[in-house]
Structure 1
Amino acid sequence: MRIASLLPATTEIVAALGRADDLVAITFECDHPPGLAAPVVVRSALEPGMTPGEIDRTVRERAAAGLPMYDLDREALRAAAPDVVLTQDLCGVCALPGHTVAEALDELGLPDVAVHSFDPHTLDEVLTGIGGIAAAIDADASPMLSDLRRRLTGLDTALADVDRPRALVLEWTDPPFLPGHWVPELVRRAGAVPTAGVDGGRSRAVAWEDLESPDAVVVTPCGYDLAAAVAQAGPIADRFPDVPVIAIDSAAYVVRAGPRLVDGIEALAHALHPAVVPAPEEVRCAQVSRKGRDSDR
């Protein structure tokens, strides 16, 4: 089966299911696992090196003008000749919308290509959606899902009696955005109580003065790796000098709806409760103070 994955999360899921060699088209953001050889057919309309504030302004301007956030290379997709295309309709800012893909396939004379949309809003829907992708590409997700659920159950048991800090979670820093979709649940599963957020819904912008005083701050800027999250967390630590500020690799472990969400929960659980949850083997989080990074988790 020839698979076009137009979403980093689905690329990661396909690879985790042992089908990376069947990928014939991916996006510019598909960086896991490293070394994917498939051609890139989706690129961002954003310029490299933009600050969070510049990105926010550009996204708003393009949305107001009816301009897309992503460019699909239709001829490259035609040349890839996929049997199935994995896409989404959850967020037009985060990835190429599925209706755009369907329209492009019709334009290219490929109306018989199967299109599978992956649109989870909660952690359980992520896990269920992994099973759906597996079915779409004739793979078996049972071993993976059993392991992910076993690890989540183990965390629930380990954290059953801990004191849970009230955590302010920032999914964007300029302007501040409170999290949506599965992110508040991830924070709860890691042993904290999110001070705000929209379970299963969209993230939303807020004013700094409207934020509640938390016991901890989790900085998880959408699409950024750990180094960038740490850099953005520095000014946040200045705003909240009396509470711990934790930065996490959001691109890998928070906003990408794949199996590594459980890795992110485990990492955040250790950062919040180091005496209860062991440290992961690789660095996924960093504790940040007003002077910069203190320690990695």
Structure 2
Amino acid sequence: MESINSTLLTEFILTGIPYPLRLRTFLFVFFLLIYTLTQLGNLLILITVWVDVQLHAHPMYIFLGVLSIIDMAISTIIVPRFMMSFTAVLTPISFGGCVTQLYFYHFLGSTQCFLYTLMAYDRYLAICRPLHYPVLMNAKLSTLLVAGAWVAGSIHGALQAILTFRLPYCGPNRVEYFFCDIPAVLKLACADTTVNKLVTLVDIGVVVASCFSLILLSYIRIIQAILRIQTADGRRRAFSTCGAHVTVVTVYYVPCAFVYLRPETNSPLGGAAALFPTAITPFVNPIIYTLRNQEVKLALKRMIGGCRT
């Protein structure tokens, strides 16, 4: 044990994902632009939801504001470090930094899963039970549900971080990935990782499968209700209110399932898929919600008009 402890790692090197060297500068600038627009877009959504009083009456936009916070945070803990892999020298990440990155990624990622489920349930109540909606989904309840999502996400992230870093890491220290994630880090452990892999598969599988099943069930009921609407304009408006959420859920869940619910997760294709929940989804969420959501567009116009006045 003493010989193992004497060689425990104090830092890791994130190698990033394979790319042609001639594209190094382009990729650095591209992801810098993606990161900047992600922060600005989500900040704009957050300010709009915060400032516009008319949106406060709709719990859906409370969820949307929280989603913007999560998108900004996930992008911040992943993308700047990822951009460093496009520089000439690979800068190490400390052991504590790796633990922190893994914890916050799974904390925020699982919270986002729960939040998407709450947003689907909110749309189900608004469309399928419109008369009871103000009672069943009020501001107090939506706040409690969001708080519950944060707590559950924190527990999930802590469980994954503790299980991963309770193992000894004594070399090598090159993580063949663009951030400290469970499958890539476990490959460097100097101990048996069978239990960790099983718990990770079951834990993440349960979270993803249960959230996705609840979302799917909600939208089955929503579609059934929409098809019963007599007018074409009514059906169009109902589908429009749900279209943005369906789009972002698809963009988020499909890559996550591809990354974590396969036997071999640390591959170039898996790394490319992991870019969606970490960099692409946070970037496209504000675009989707502003282009597909009429109330958000009107709120933006009111806010811009007020600023001009």
> TM-score, structure 1 length as denominator?
0.26
More helix by share: 2
Decide which structure has the larger Cα Rg and report it.
Answer: 2
Instruction: With a CA cutoff of 8 Å and minimum separation of 6, indicate the structure with the bigger relative contact order.
Output: 2
More strand by share: 1
